[in-house]
Amino acid sequence: MLFNKYEKKSSAVAKELLLVSTLVAGTLATQANAGPVHGWAAGVNGQILFTSDKGATWTVQSSSIGSTTIYDMDFTSLEAGGMVGRTGRVIKTVDAGNNWTGPINLSGASNYTSSISYADTDPTYGWVADVGTGKIFKTSDGGTSWGLHYTLPTGPRAVDFPTDTTGWAVGNGGSIYKTIDGGASWTAQTSGTGTAIIAVQFHGTSTGWAVGGSGGVIRYTTDGGTNWQPATVNDISTYGFHELDMVSASVGWAVGDYGTIVKTTDGGVTWDFQANPADTDAMPDNNVGFRLRDVSFIDALEGWAVGENGGTILHTTDGGSTWIDVTPAEVTGDLHAVQFMTVPEPGLSALGATVAALALSRRKPKTAEGSACRSR
């Protein structure tokens, strides 16, 4: 009986320590992501907006891309990134957009150069996809110069390169192609759909997701695309998706037609509808609302989505349970791309990780959410 008494007391103390350590870990994790945050939104007429206060205020940035519609962007740090626009025009910055260089005009590009991706492991290398011609363009000097690298048999709408050698291109007819030599050659993969796939994202070279056109098409893979599995998209059967952002291997969002936003918490196996101001009747699959083009999260709670209706910016701080329209007066037309970047606050990240590890070591393993600092 004496042993049981102390055993119970020890168990109670352990639970209290677990609670305290978990609370501290959560606080430090939040603080660790409390470093600077930069965000950009871009779209028609070459408009580029920048914020350094999570969208509380936005400033208009000037570039020489002209009135070209900007379709996509990819930032690799708080300062460096590139954008691609209609007719194969590419611009870059190394100072957060205070100055943009270019545009470089990609020779032979069509009116729809739709995607840009710098390698996650080495942003010296980058690729641009042109859906109108099937061409893949590549840079090996951080975007200073570009050249034709390959022509795919079907138009690629998006590319994503987790490394400087391994990447994917997705596009018309449900096409998915993989390269392991930096884009010098590509191998077709089976998506299981004939619907155009419009966006793709990988975490590493094994785990990836792809979303597409009509019918609520979402696919996921855990073996580098050898097998692409169809996801279960609850409440959505007719809409198309235009972009996605996975902040971890388990948590992410996809956006698309009629203001559709869906979220996954199980690695993309299932997705659930989230009401928001762009879906004007807050009812899924009801053909009411306006198109959302892109989405970007900095952690598992805070994110932004942009789209049409003359230019729209939505914001959430609770993982999408609540979305608010925060479109500023500076927006002058439809927005096609958004990206937010953050870095951990120096000196806090290691401490937060240590306390979190101590807390998690006393319970069943779980996947950490919101650890990614680079969001697309």
Per residue in 241-293, pLDDT (tens digit) is 999 999 999 999 999 999 999 999 999 999 999 999 998 776 676 666 899 99
How far is C-alpha 249 from the chain's CA centre? 12
The answer to the question of residue 61 being in a domain is yes
User: What DSSP state is assigned to residue 192?
Assistant: S
Residue 372, pLDDT above cutoff 90: no
Residues 270 and 119: their CA atoms lie apart, in Å, by: 28
Residue 360, pLDDT above cutoff 50: no
Which residue segment(s) compose the domain that 228 sits in? 37-343
The answer to the question of residue 44 being in a domain is yes
pLDDT value for 282: 64
The answer to the question of residue 196 being in a domain is yes
Residues 169 and 112: their CA atoms lie apart, in Å, by: 15
Say which CATH number the domain at 207 has: 2.130.10.10
Query: Kindly report the CA angle at 134 between 133 and 135, in degrees rounded to 5?
Result: 90
The answer to the question of residue 8 being in a domain is no
**How many domains is the chain built from?**
1
pLDDT value for 246: 98
pLDDT value for 344: 65
The answer to the question of residue 222 being in a domain is yes
Q: What is the pTM of this model?
A: 0.84
The answer to the question of residue 375 being in a domain is no
**Phi, psi of 130, rounded to the nearest 5 degrees:** -120, 105
Average pLDDT over residues 103-132: 96
For residue 312, give both structure tokens.
């729209």
Note if the bond before 162 is cis, omega within 30 degrees.
no
The stretches of 89-184 forming alpha helices (DSSP H) are none
Per-residue pLDDT reduced to its tens digit, 135-194: 999 999 999 999 999 999 999 999 999 999 999 999 999 999 999 999 999 999 999 999
User: What DSSP state is assigned to residue 74?
Assistant: E
The answer to the question of residue 15 being in a domain is no
The answer to the question of residue 7 being in a domain is no
Give the number of other Cβ atoms within 10 Å of residue 126's Cβ: 27
Supply the mean pLDDT for the chain. 86
Residue 89, pLDDT above cutoff 90: yes
Work out the percent of the chain whose per-residue pLDDT is above 90.
Answer: 76
Are the C-beta atoms of 342 and 373 separated by less than 8 Å?
yes
SS3 label, residue 241: strand
SS3 label, residue 27: helix
Residues 198 and 209: their CA atoms lie apart, in Å, by: 11
pLDDT value for 60: 98
pLDDT value for 20: 39
pLDDT value for 228: 98
List beta partners, residue 352: none
Average pLDDT over residues 212-227: 94
At 163, the amino acid letter reads T
pLDDT value for 49: 98
DSSP-derived secondary structure for 309-331? TTTEEEEESSTTSS-EE---TT-
